[in-house]
A and B are shown apart, each in its own frame.
Chain A
Amino acid sequence: DQQVKQNSPSLSVQEGRISILNCDYTNSMFDYFLWYKKYPAEGPTFLISISSIKDKNEDGRFTVFLNKSAKHLSLHIVPSQPGDSAVYFCAGKGFGNEKLTFGTGTRLTIIP
């Protein structure tokens, strides 16, 4: 079951530059998409979400873009900071149910 896919297992970015994390999905019934960040030995932490009827949502340094026709979303972090080094998960939530369907995650490393 590959409803949510994150094809890049890892990404390295210089501090201060933009980090772009990508996510693809196959399930057209998702009505919200969420991004979570996870540090080792901790649970996932909610970052930002976007409704399927929007194409952009911004919160401080974090912006999520949704391209419904391509079934693709991306998370932009700018400027990237060392504390952003973590594993980032994309998740979809279906209309009318509560469960989150996660991707496999992308490990982001910010290089000082």
Chain B
Amino acid sequence: EPEVTQTPSHQVTQMGQEVILRCVPISNHLYFYWYRQILGQKVEFLVSFYNNEISEKSEIFDDQFSVERPDGSNFTLKIRSTKLEDSAMYFCASSQASGGANEQFFGPGTRLTVL
């Protein structure tokens, strides 16, 4: 069964450093998403991406964040200058279409720890 994959599974970084989280969505999906879950809190939407541009973003997704689809398979989330409060589990998701229930398929997540 096709699945979303994410690398690395765990990333440790120093405050102020740049990190890039990588995702390979399901191959025939057209919509891509990043969510995050701070420990003990709910899963929060960050950004959605379609047709090589951001289609929606949350208040969390400020100028420190960016997303890119550098080739036909990868989807990346970059955090330019990490802060302590960026420590969280980051989930990538993808879906075939945006209409209807829009079932999104999630990857296993990358745990980001900012020291």
- A interface list, Cβ under 8 A from B: 32, 34, 36, 41-46, 49, 51, 89, 93, 97-105
Q: In the complex, what distance in Å separates the CA atom of A56 from the CA atom of B108?
A: 30
Q: Which of B13-67 contact A (CB under 8 A)?
A: 31, 33, 35, 41-45, 48, 50, 55-56, 58
Given contacts A98-B48, A99-B58, contact A34 B42 (CB under 8 A): no
13 contacts between A and B (CB under 8 A): A32-B102, A34-B101, A43-B4, A44-B91, A46-B103, A46-B104, A51-B100, A93-B101, A98-B33, A98-B95, A99-B45, A99-B48, A99-B58
Known: A43-B91, A43-B109, A98-B33. A34 touches B103 (CB 8 A): yes
Pairs A-B, 8 closest by C-beta atoms: A43-B106, A49-B101, A99-B45, A102-B43, A32-B101, A98-B98, A98-B48, A46-B103
Whether A49 and B103, one on each chain, are in contact in the complex, defined by CB atoms closer than 8 angstroms, is yes
Across the interface, which residues of B come within 8 angstroms of A46, CB to CB? 103-105
- Chain A's interface: helix, strand, loop or mixed, by majority? strand
Binding site for A on B (CB under 8 A): 4, 31, 33, 35, 41-45, 48, 50, 55-56, 58, 91, 93, 95, 98, 100-109
Compute how far the CA of A34 lies from the CA of B85 in the bound complex, rounded to whole angstroms: 28
Instruction: Choose from B31, B56, B100, B108 the contact partner of A32 (Cβ within 8 Å).
Output: B100
A42-B108, A43-B108 as given contacts; A51 in contact with B101, CB under 8 Å: yes
Cα–Cα distance between A57 and B50 once the two chains are bound (Å): 29
CA distance A41 to B89 in the complex (A): 10
